[in-house]
Amino acid sequence: MFKAGIQLRSMLIVIFTLVVTLSSAQDIKEDFLQRMNEVNAKNTSIESDFVQKRTLSIMDEVLISSGKFLYKKPGFMKWDQLLPSQYYFILNGDRVIRFDGEKRKTISASSPQVSYFKDFILGTVNGSMFESKQFISTFSKVNDEVRVVLLPQQKEMKKRIESIQLVFSYDKMVLIELIIMEKDGDKTAIYFSNQKFNTISDSSIFN
């Protein structure tokens, strides 16, 4: 009888812990989305430095690149790599412009791969990605940072991507770290810094 009582008490503690954890995670998500909506309503543009570290399972060397990330409402984005070589990728409405260091090429944003990439990037900035059915999302908060883990549910993406982790500063609701873990063991980590808001007024930089 005594042993059964201990087992029952242990089970109740586990259930209580799970309920509290799930409730806390839901509270974090709701708070995060509310704050992100508030911040997005105030900001019209974002400018940030980035450092990207690419780790390949077949190589010991870490590939490092750096540059500028630019975003302007309603749907302009420029990924401007400056080092070790110049490369940029621009989203401008229904157009995608890519420069590989030698040639500049315009691609239709309606192609499935480009369209998915566009939705992911813009959805990450405006917060809509975190309620998408294409991912299972979990939220946690440690000190002044919110970590979001996305597990792909879309068939083609699940073949390549294990998880996507995003870390936001809680006070500014801005992305500071993005980690993409691939099925084959490759990893891409991108770190953002020196963020500036509402500084871009000229849309011509996205041409």
User: Minimal CA–CA distance to 119: which of 98, 106, 133?
Assistant: 133
Q: Which of 12-16, 136-140, 173-177, 182-186 has the lowest mean pLDDT?
A: 12-16
| Residue 130 Cα distances to 81, 99, 106, 136, 168, angstroms | 26, 30, 29, 9, 13
% of the chain residues with pLDDT over 70: 87
By C-alpha distance, which of 10, 6, 42, 18 is closest to 174? Answer: 42
- What is the per-residue pLDDT across 57-96, written as a single tens digit (0 to 9) for each? 888 889 999 999 999 998 899 999 999 999 999 988 878 8
Which of 6-15, 52-61, 136-145, 180-189 shows the lowest per-residue confidence on average (mean pLDDT)? 6-15
CA 21 vs CA 9, 16, 70, 79, 145: distances in Å: 18, 9, 37, 37, 18
Q: Is the peptide bond before 74 cis (omega within 30 degrees of 0)?
A: yes
Counting Cβ atoms within 10 Å, is residue 95 exposed (0-12), middle (13-18) or buried (19+)?
middle
Tens digits of per-residue pLDDT, 110-144?
777 677 777 777 788 877 888 888 888 899 988 88
The counts of H helices and E strands in the chain are 3, 11
Supply 195's token pair.
């963020």
- Architecture of domain 2-206 in this structure: Clam (2.50)
